[in-house]
Amino acid sequence: MNKKVIYTFSALPYRQKIPVYGYYFGGKEKTVAVVGSMRGDEYQQMCVCAMLVKRLKALEEQCFIKADSGIVVIPSASQFSMNVGRRFFPVDNTDINRMFPGYNLGETTQRLADSIFSTVKDYQYGIQLASYYLCGDFVPHVRAIESGFQDHSVADDFGLSYMVVRQPQPIDTTTLNYNWQVFNTTAFSVYSGSTSLVDMNQANASVDAIIRFLIKRGVISEEAAVSDGVPTVHVGEGEMKKVQTQNAGLLHKMIKPGDRVNKGQVLGIIIDPYEAEVLEEILSPCDGVLFFSRTAEAIAQHELVFTVREE
């Protein structure tokens, strides 16, 4: 393993310099790049990458990484945001994952994105440990943007239950995943269930999925034992049934992602914050699996609160 500083936050008042590290394994070929947290609440994503670094270090010591294959892992680019408890970069409230491919003469987040992208853009495969734009929990899955630049069937090698394909919106063109694909990297985002809370079981499952992918892609020897995956169901993001609130109030959820639901089943309730009366029962629109559940104690009217994968 070779640990390198790829960027340093050096102009922070009243604070010491904060480095962003890259961990390199294997040979000189640029085979697989893995990027972790880019937002200040992505503790699960950072944890997955840290555990992956530990696992790859052991596999390298056992000579299980193929001689020519090169792997880089960047566990976190969001240490400054984490230090002050902010999801986005605290100086200007910008989202690092909306700054790619970056600009080396721009603002801090643009320069950071440029340093990260310069490090990872020439790799054959790219894996981002990502979070959703809304705070919430998912069924662990792999996701890609439909850019027209790659074969999504490669995602089956992760052995996760679902592969979700998102049709790109204009804002997606400034994300790491999209720019990876523009520069001919086969790129995927892995969603590890939670975001701001560390779930070690889900983190271990995500590391297993990445190792499984590396074995299937011929980067790591099959001698590296890893649990079997499951068949992957491909689904478009637009096929998910979205459930929105009709009332504002306190949110009480009754089920969790991965639970099977029936049409008309109560997924949660909205409670009046002053009188504790039930203002609304939130019902499942179909039979299926709860795929996403919003994390919120109080929620506004007409907010997305659940998504259900119809089956």
- pLDDT tens column, 184-226: 999 999 999 889 889 999 999 999 999 999 999 999 998 887 8
pLDDT at 171: 87
Distance of CA 52 to the CA centre of its chain: 14
Tell whether the model's pLDDT for residue 167 goes beyond 80.
Answer: yes
At 245, the pLDDT band (50, 70, 90 cuts) reads very high
Q: For residues 249 and 198, state if they share a domain.
A: no
Average pLDDT over residues 151-171: 92
Question: Higher-confidence residue: 296 or 254?
Answer: 254
Q: For residues 111 and 141, state if they share a domain.
A: yes
Distance of CA 37 to the CA centre of its chain: 8
CB 124 within 8 A of CB 31: yes
Structural domain count, the chain = 2
Strands (E), the chain: 2-9, 18-26, 32-37, 70-76, 125-129, 136-138, 141-145, 162-166, 186-191, 233-236, 241-244, 249-253, 260-261, 266-271, 278-283, 288-294, 298-299, 304-310
- What percent of the chain has a predicted confidence (pLDDT) above 70? 98
Q: How far apart are CA 266 and CA 279, in angstroms?
A: 13
pLDDT at 12: 57
Tell whether the model's pLDDT for residue 168 goes beyond 90.
Answer: no
pLDDT at 56: 97
Tell whether the model's pLDDT for residue 10 goes beyond 90.
Answer: no
Supply the mean pLDDT for the chain.
93
Angle at 186 between CA 56 and CA 93, to 5 degrees: 80
CB 119 within 8 A of CB 74: yes
Final residue before a domain boundary, out of 200, 220, 236: 236
Q: For residues 223 and 267, state if they share a domain.
A: no
Q: For residues 83 and 197, state if they share a domain.
A: yes
pLDDT at 286: 96
pLDDT at 14: 56
Tell whether the model's pLDDT for residue 149 goes beyond 90.
Answer: no
Final residue before a domain boundary, out of 201, 236, 271: 236
> How many other C-beta atoms lie within 10 A of the C-beta of residue 121?
20
Q: For residues 156 and 188, state if they share a domain.
A: yes
Q: For residues 147 and 284, state if they share a domain.
A: no
Is the four-CA dihedral 58, 59, 62, 66 of positive or negative sign? negative
pLDDT at 11: 56
Q: For residues 154 and 189, state if they share a domain.
A: yes
Which backbone phi and psi does 144 adopt, to 5 degrees?
-145, 155
Q: Which domain holds residue 153?
A: 2-236
Q: For residues 46 and 182, state if they share a domain.
A: yes
Residue 197 belongs to a domain with what CATH number?
A: 3.40.630.10
Average pLDDT over residues 255-263: 95
Lowest mean pLDDT among 56-60, 80-84, 94-98, 189-193: 80-84
- 183 by DSSP, 3-state: which? coil
Distances 167 to 141, 142, 190, 291 between C-alpha atoms, Å: 17, 15, 17, 18
Tell whether the model's pLDDT for residue 268 goes beyond 90.
Answer: yes
For β-strands 32-37 and 18-26, DSSP reports them as unpaired
- pLDDT tens column, 45-74: 999 999 999 999 999 999 999 999 999 999
